[in-house]
Chains A and B, each alone.
Chain A
């Protein structure tokens, strides 16, 4: 299950990179932002999105628009971490919840 997921994600990221290249907006920041956003969307699709992830990405965009790229990158890193952790959590819970059922 996990490897399939990982390769699907890899493919989605590759497609995303290609789209960005074609659109001519290939700054490293924009790509990192898009990757973190994709992870958030995937976590949401798994019903596992964390509370602050969307807001972190929102703030990252604002910081970037204001020119503070260091702050923007730090926020994207946090959002990316949250997206990855939420997906790991969902993958783990796909079976782990059954151990908690009151018997």
Chain B
């Protein structure tokens, strides 16, 4: 009797530890939010959508000046033109998406059970091009990024509502992959995303201050004044991977799509506020 009780206990141990390791996404998100709120107790939750401007007064002042003449306006207008434009067979890009314009951005990234992978907005737009028998746009092309700028603008004020359905094991697996990527050290400098954007958040790295990862996905694409152009979230991922001297993954690679899925889930409940403007 004693023995079997001990056996039962022993057999429970791996189950318990396994459960602790694979905490649910909602537990993860709550812990994530709590961490940043305790690091910055004076910053309201909604403010985290503004990245570095939520925690840096000087940068915020400069940003508000910049927003008087939004540098991404041109991209939004170009995106709108492309969005309305009739395609050769008379259809429009909008016809692929059965939603009103403002609801499209918040529907991504989503896990597509049929394909067994995360589909981002950029991928969905290119899928649409393919169904129209048009060549896909490169993921760093002005056309594609402009359209995402337009759709981001149309979605301003809507909440981030990244979904992980319990009955889709693939969705949870993709989320877990993104989470693992986010917390793994990589590159010659041996840094994880979390080393900078969680542990060292608010500290200075050369001329920059490190922004919180809470809210990282809400405002993309982003106009970078340093580059004089609008860039996608995956281009920013690529830059940060390169900065730790690791070989970046391709834009819209499975790695980056899963990472986007994880980070988007972490930002649930914040508002979309793209396109953004950054240094």
Count residues on chain A whose CB falls below 8 Å from chain B CBs: 20
Tell me, in angstroms, the Cα distance from A97 to B31 when the chains sit together: 16
Chain A positions within 8 Å of B186 at CB level: 47-48, 89, 93
- Indicate whether A54 sits within 8 Å of B194 (C-beta atoms), given known contacts A89-B186, A96-B185, A97-B180: no
Distance to closest chain A CB from B240 (angstroms): 12
Stretch at the interface among B138-146, B156-164, B221-229, B242-250: B242-250
- Indicate whether A50 sits within 8 Å of B246 (C-beta atoms), given known contacts A89-B190, A100-B192, A103-B31: yes
Chain A interface, >50% SS class: helix
- Contact of A82 with B188 in the complex, beta carbons under 8 Å: yes
Count residues on chain B whose CB falls below 8 Å from chain A CBs: 28
Chain B positions within 8 Å of A49 at CB level: 246-247
**Which of A44, A50, A100 makes the CB contact (< 8 A) with B187?**
A50
Q: Is A26 an interface residue (CB 8 A)?
A: no
A-B contact pairs, 6 of them (CB 8 A): A47-B255, A51-B246, A51-B247, A82-B188, A97-B180, A102-B31
- Shortest 4 CB-CB contacts between residues of A and residues of B: A97-B183, A49-B247, A97-B184, A51-B245
Query: Which residues does B use to contact A, with CB under 8 Å?
Result: 21, 23, 28, 31-32, 35, 179-181, 183-188, 190, 192, 194-195, 198-199, 242, 245-249, 255
Query: Which residues does A use to contact B, with CB under 8 Å?
Result: 44, 47-54, 82, 85, 89, 93, 96-98, 100-103
